[in-house]
Amino acid sequence: MTEVKLFSGTKSQSLAEKIAKHYGKKLGDLTISKFSDGEMSPSFNESVRGCTVFLIQSTMPSSDNLLELCLMIDAAKRASAYKVCAVIPYYGYARQDRKDRPRVSIAAKLIANMLTSAGADRIMTCDLHAGQIQGFFDLPLDHLNGSAIFVPYLERLLSENLIFAAPDVGGVARARAYAKHFEVEMVVCDKHRKRANEVASMQVIGDVEGKDVVLVDDLVDTAGTLCKAAQIIMDKGAKSVRAIATHGVLSGKAYENIENSVLQELVITDTIPLKQASSKIKVLSVADLFAKAIHAVTGNTSISSLFI
């Protein structure tokens, strides 16, 4: 077995430190220098020759985080690392996974090409916006599932009135997986958009009266859809509404929307650092999940035990 070394990008330092602690190693010494115009230059301050290197960096806005990760991969390959694995807790640009209208980019595929061209030998990520993005890569990809984090938390809140809801049609499979695990029913919020981040209309398909509803999504951006779905569900007679989402992008008026909503709580993970505290937002850590996955990869063992 080769020596394993873990390094962190600038914006994922806190999560990377937790992952390294759970894994049982300290983070490696890496410096990201910047020129006065903002140009980045990563350099490893220790040898990575012949090592299996894990580079931890979410690609949340700004796009500098993505470029920084690509430069880190390139630097590791040029320093003769044996294998380079890009650990991307949040894989940005994943919402652009197809041509849903003429003359648009399939950004998720472009990012996959960039990471491959930079020299990544393996990708490790969590809850892609669309599972088929795995097929955009011609190299091994470990797609971890946030259910391993959320299910134990929800089990402590289990009630006889529990029901799961998808905030849109695209999230039906995700919500159904939770409903099947807990052996309860699910409902769907059917929405229509005029443009990105703006919901024109929404209706609930299914009965939520007297139920404790859990909305399930992969990410929360402006929280507009989530808050509107929660309000409509309460208007339909639900007892309570809470939401779980792996990635807390939380841009624009997200914090204000959540605080002013009928949501009892929003449970997210630390794949993206929280910008500000909120009484309604609870953060669970994915550090142990990623540490176990890294152990499995380096030990050539199955990661199927990490899935619920």
Indicate if 191 belongs to the active site: yes
- Other C-beta atoms closer than 10 Å to the C-beta of 78 total 11
Q: What does residue 179 show for φ and ψ, rounded to 5 degrees?
A: -60, -40
Q: 186-224 b/e with 16+ CB inside 10 Å = b?
A: bbbbebeeeeeeebeebebebebeebbbbbbbbbbbbbb
Question: What is d(CA 141, CA 92) in angstroms, rounded to the nearest whole number?
Answer: 15
Q: Is 265 helix (H, G, I), strand (E, B) or coil?
A: coil
- Other C-beta atoms closer than 10 Å to the C-beta of 226 total 26
Region label for 14, one of left (φ > 0), alpha (ψ between -120 and 50) or beta (otherwise) = alpha
Question: What is d(CA 106, CA 95) in angstroms, rounded to the nearest whole number?
Answer: 9
Set 191, 211, 228, 292: catalytic member: 191
Contact 163, 187 (CB under 8 A): yes
What positions carry a catalytic annotation? 191
